[in-house]
């Protein structure tokens, strides 16, 4: 409820009065017309008729300096009513209908009264509204009325834009009916609502709820579509970028202000080559209703003349600076994209050049993004394959604070990418019906987006090559060319021969180690595979142990490498690499360390990785004579075996060795989480089981071998056993068993 306390208005006949200048500045701020107490009483409302067709309603205030017969107006009032000093006006009493003319809500346009007094400080619209109601309670207001308002020692020019009458149900103490009625003239009361709206092109900053929600164009282009833009497999990454970088720009600005939220001004995209970093950055500009992005290749910034490189950086931000000075918070979004960011933003103090040009470029970029006069209307997107080279200061919050790894696409992503690159062929019926995109996606594990595009191109080339006539001149067989279609065989041929993934799993690597399969000659082999599966599940599922390292140790030829390769293959991890000494023949110690480190660095880029470190004593150049080994490689392995992968990554390391005792002396065993012993075949029954699984001898021959070995102990590795069997099978059938048993004796098995 509210109460109006005022003297009952006196009815009086209209009288002619002369317009005068308001006697004091304080009275100008009251928004009242000032009269002599001989003519009217303070608080009365009057109609001032300036011409036969123009009437204005004012609330009056008395002051002793105003002479009888005069009515004084402030400058804004005279401008609004079109009054001049000394003009005669007709003044009559005005009575408000309290049931229809009480102000429910009033929208007021606000700006600084004088341009020289502008500032960028935020003004609380809620406090402003409360003070406005207190200052102007029980006064009349009209649409288009102009007045001056003092708040926080600043003068503001106001103009009434819209008045809405108070709901009559509320006046009766009943629930609101929800009906809204616009009126031209209203009376300000204690529970009126005042809403401030910033004047167009004003630099005033309003915060709080008592301000209008500015109509603004959505930042996201309504026609935006991932697949139409040629981006596939990056849904998850883009969702994360959107949440961090764009959500605050899409949300209503008043809520963002209430939260005290600042916009993200920098995004760093990093990851292996060919995974879509540059493509994604270029398409972000099309997705947003912003200006065309400025795309800069890092090396283009550098200039041999002193100061030119820094000037190039300043030019990139010049448009955004000018617009922010002119429009303030209303400025649009400016996007600047740096490709190959590591070329210009290397760690400061590391450059060999005496000019220090890289350092000054980094300093200039820092000052523009997050300096004293920082810009709030920019989004800087940087891309690099080497985030480790970039200066640390650029990575802190307020600069490139959103760091997003654009990694290899998963199977769902590969389906999207292949669909994008085959859309046109499908539309013109050039893609054969036997091409299954899902099958291709399953076969192209660890292919980057660029490699998948290359695969499609290679398949197209293979298909087109079929329609070229092999004559003395190169020409196309037009009759057959009209029936051109790219088939499944074209894709499979390109997959096997033309395009290989530069990153991740190379199936040929570990397939060669298990080409004869795994011979489960007894419980020891089954136990090793079961333990390996447990370790794989631990790596996948445990958050406490992102790094799992297991050592398979046993005598030579016991099948350690084959078992390690089998565990790795069955894990189905997206990244599997075998670090083997056969790929480092003739390499120096430093080259070996770099090669081993690269395998682990690549592994850290994948969500789930498995690295097989095969034949560790060979990697270490160990020989029993001396003894001698490479301490440099040993120290590198010790560090890498214990180094946990980055957050969110999981790594399984499987090591193999035939010299557990040597690793014990080198203090390397402690680097492994667990050790699994791989034994040789040790009984005749196990050997016969192995022969049965291999299917190399007949049932009669195996029975003969079993009889000869009954009750005897044997000791032979499965790998050596395979060699002896193949040698025996070269003999005539009558002598194969005899030869096999002879070879076993010769080997001391």
Dump pLDDT digits (tens) for 678-718.
Answer: 998 888 888 888 888 877 788 888 888 888 888 778 888 88
pLDDT at 213 over 80: no
- What span, in angstroms and rounded, lies between the C-alpha atoms of 388 and 400? 14
Which of 198, 277, 368, 560 is catalytic? The answer is 560
Residues 6+ apart with CB under 8 A from 436: 488
Which of 107, 615, 657, 689 is catalytic? The answer is 615
SS3 category, 86? coil
614 is catalytic: yes
Dump pLDDT digits (tens) for 114-132.
Answer: 877 777 778 888 888 889 9
Say if CB 362 and CB 393 are below 8 A apart.
yes
pLDDT of residue 587: 87
* Beta-carbon count within 10 A of 662 CB: 17
What CATH number has the domain spanning 226-405?
Answer: 3.40.50.300
What CATH number has the domain spanning 682-747?
Answer: 1.10.8.60
615 is catalytic: yes
The larger pLDDT score, comparing residue 611 to residue 484, is at 611
Say if CB 619 and CB 589 are below 8 A apart.
no
384 φ/ψ sector (left φ>0, alpha ψ -120 to 50, else beta): beta
User: Quick one: average pLDDT of 67-75?
Assistant: 91
384 is catalytic: no
Architecture per CATH, domain 507-679, reads as 3-Layer(aba) Sandwich (3.40)
Residues 6+ apart with CB under 8 A from 514: 562, 565, 566, 569
Structure tokens at 743: 């070879």
Dump pLDDT digits (tens) for 600-617.
Answer: 988 887 778 999 999 999
Task: List beta partners, residue 235.
Answer: none
Which of 100, 642, 710, 712 is catalytic? The answer is 642
642 is catalytic: yes
Integer CA distances (angstroms), 73 to 43, 154, 441, in order: 15, 21, 80
- What span, in angstroms and rounded, lies between the C-alpha atoms of 5 and 43? 10
Say if CB 314 and CB 363 are below 8 A apart.
no
Kind plus residue range of the DSSP H or E element containing 459: helix 449-465
Which of 614, 656, 689, 720 is catalytic? The answer is 614
pLDDT of residue 613: 94
Of the candidate ranges 165-169, 545-549, 604-608, 739-743, the one whose mean pLDDT is the lowest:
165-169
User: Which class is 103-207 in CATH?
Assistant: alpha beta
- Do domains 226-405 and 682-747 share one topology? The answer is no
pLDDT at 748 over 70: no
Say if pTM beats, i.e. exceeds, 0.85: no
- What span, in angstroms and rounded, lies between the C-alpha atoms of 439 and 448? 16
Structure tokens at 572: 């189905």
Which of 286, 540, 719, 739 is catalytic? The answer is 719
- What span, in angstroms and rounded, lies between the C-alpha atoms of 29 and 155? 9
Q: Which 8-state DSSP code applies to residue 431?
A: B
- What span, in angstroms and rounded, lies between the C-alpha atoms of 272 and 48? 77
On the 0-12 / 13-18 / 19+ scale of CB atoms within 10 A, 482 is: exposed
% of the chain residues with pLDDT over 90: 19
Residues 6+ apart with CB under 8 A from 282: 293, 295, 337
pLDDT of residue 299: 76
CATH classification number, 411-498, choose in 1.10.8.60, 1.20.1250.20, 3.40.640.10, 1.10.287.90: 1.10.8.60
Which of 561, 656, 689, 720 is catalytic? The answer is 561
* Tokens 């009952």 belong to residue: 8
% of the chain residues with pLDDT over 70: 85
Say if CB 419 and CB 306 are below 8 A apart.
no
pLDDT of residue 11: 55
- Residue 9 banded pLDDT, cuts 50, 70, 90: very low
- What span, in angstroms and rounded, lies between the C-alpha atoms of 452 and 518? 33
Dump pLDDT digits (tens) for 264-311.
Answer: 888 888 887 878 787 777 777 667 666 778 888 877 777 766 678 888
pLDDT at 154 over 70: yes
Shortest CA distance to 502 belongs to which of 291, 313, 342, 275?
A: 275
- What span, in angstroms and rounded, lies between the C-alpha atoms of 244 and 260? 15
Kind plus residue range of the DSSP H or E element containing 604: helix 589-604
User: Quick one: average pLDDT of 491-496?
Assistant: 85
Domain locations along the chain: 15-93, 103-207, 226-405, 411-498, 507-679, 682-747
Architecture per CATH, domain 15-93, reads as Beta Barrel (2.40)
Integer CA distances (angstroms), 748 to 706, 713, 714, 729, 745, in order: 18, 11, 9, 20, 5
- Residue 676 banded pLDDT, cuts 50, 70, 90: very high
Dump pLDDT digits (tens) for 392-447.
Answer: 888 888 888 888 888 778 788 888 888 888 888 888 888 888 889 999 888 887 78
């Amino acid at each position: 409820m509210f109460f109006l306390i005022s003297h009952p208005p006196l009815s009086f006949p209209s009288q002619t009065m002369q317009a005068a200048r308001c006697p004091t500045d304080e009275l100008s701020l009251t928004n009242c017309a000032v009269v002599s107490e001989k003519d009217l009483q303070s608080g009365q409302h009057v109609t001032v008729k300036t011409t036969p067709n123009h009437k204005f309603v004012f609330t009056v205030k008395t002051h002793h300096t105003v002479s009888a017969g005069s009515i004084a107006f402030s400058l804004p009032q005279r401008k609004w009513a079109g009054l001049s000093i000394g003009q005669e006006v007709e003044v009559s009493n005005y009575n408000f209908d309290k049931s229809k003319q009480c102000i429910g809500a009033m929208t007021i346009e606000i700006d600084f009264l004088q341009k020289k007094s502008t500032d960028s400080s935020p003004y609380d619209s809620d406090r402003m509204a409360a003070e406005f109601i207190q200052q102007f309670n029980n006064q009349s207001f009209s649409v288009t009325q102009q007045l001056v308002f003092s708040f926080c020692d600043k003068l503001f020019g106001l103009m009434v834009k819209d008045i809405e009458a108070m709901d009559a149900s509320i006046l009766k103490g009943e629930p609101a009916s929800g009906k809204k009625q616009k009126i031209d003239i209203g009376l300000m009361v204690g529970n009126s609502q005042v809403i401030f709206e910033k004047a167009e092109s004003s630099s005033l900053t309003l915060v709080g709820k008592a301000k209008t929600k500015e109509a603004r164009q959505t930042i996201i282009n309504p026609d935006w579509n991932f697949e139409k833009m040629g981006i596939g497999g990056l849904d998850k990454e883009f969702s994360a970028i959107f949440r961090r970088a764009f959500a605050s720009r899409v949300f209503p600005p008043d809520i963002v202000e209430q939260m005290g939220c600042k916009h993200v001004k920098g995004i760093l995209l990093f990851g292996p080559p060919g995974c879509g970093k540059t493509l994604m950055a270029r398409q972000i500009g099309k997705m947003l209703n912003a200006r065309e992005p400025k795309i800069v290749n890092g090396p283009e910034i550098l200039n041999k003349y002193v100061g030119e490189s820094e000037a190039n950086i300043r030019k990139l931000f010049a448009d955004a600076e000018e617009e922010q000075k002119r429009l303030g918070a209303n400025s649009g979004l400016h996007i600047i994209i740096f490709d190959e960011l590591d070329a210009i933003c290397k760690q400061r103090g590391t450059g060999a050049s005496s000019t220090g040009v890289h350092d000054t470029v980094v300093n200039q970029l820092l000052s523009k993004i997050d300096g004293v006069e920082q810009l709030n209307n920019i989004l800087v997107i940087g891309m690099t394959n080497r985030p480790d080279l970039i200066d640390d200061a650029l990575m802190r919050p307020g600069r490139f604070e959103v760091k997003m790894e654009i990694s290899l696409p998963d199977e769902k992503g590969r389906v999207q990418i292949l669909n994008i690159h085959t859309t046109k062929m499908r539309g013109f019926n050039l893609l054969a019906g036997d091409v299954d995109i899902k099958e291709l996606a399953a076969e192209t594990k660890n292919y980057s987006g660029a490699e998948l595009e290359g695969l499609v191109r290679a398949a197209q080339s293979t298909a087109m090559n079929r329609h070229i006539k092999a004559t003395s001149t190169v020409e196309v067989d037009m009759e057959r060319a009209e029936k051109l279609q790219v088939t499944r065989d074209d894709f499979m041929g390109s997959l096997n021969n033309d395009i290989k993934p530069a990153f991740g799993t190379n199936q040929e690597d570990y397939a060669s180690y298990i080409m004869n399969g795994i011979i489960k000659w007894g419980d020891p082999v089954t136990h090793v595979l079961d333990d390996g599966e447990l370790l794989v599940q631990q790596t996948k599922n445990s958050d406490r142990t992102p790094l799992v390292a297991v050592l398979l140790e046993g005598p030579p030829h016991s099948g350690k490498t084959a078992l390690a390769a089998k565990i790795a293959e069955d894990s189905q991890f997206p990244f599997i690499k075998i670090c083997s000494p056969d790929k480092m023949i003739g390499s120096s110690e430093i080259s070996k360390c770099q090669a081993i480190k690269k395998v682990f660095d690549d592994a850290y880029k994948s969500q789930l990785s498995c690295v097989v470190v095969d034949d560790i004593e060979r990697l270490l150049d160990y020989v029993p004579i001396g003894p001698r080994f490479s301490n440099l490689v040993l120290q590198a392995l010790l560090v890498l075996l214990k180094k946990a992968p980055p957050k969110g990554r999981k790594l399984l390391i499987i090591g193999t060795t035939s010299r557990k005792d040597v690793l014990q002396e080198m203090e390397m065993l402690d680097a492994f989480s667990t050790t699994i012993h791989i034994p040789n075949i040790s009984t005749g029954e196990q050997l016969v089981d192995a022969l049965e699984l291999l299917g190399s001898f007949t049932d009669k021959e195996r029975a003969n071998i079993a009889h000869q070995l009954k009750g005897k102990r044997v000791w032979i590795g499965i790998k050596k056993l395979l060699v002896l069997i193949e040698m025996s099978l070269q003999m005539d059938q009558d002598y194969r068993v005899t030869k096999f048993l002879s070879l076993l004796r010769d080997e001391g098995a």
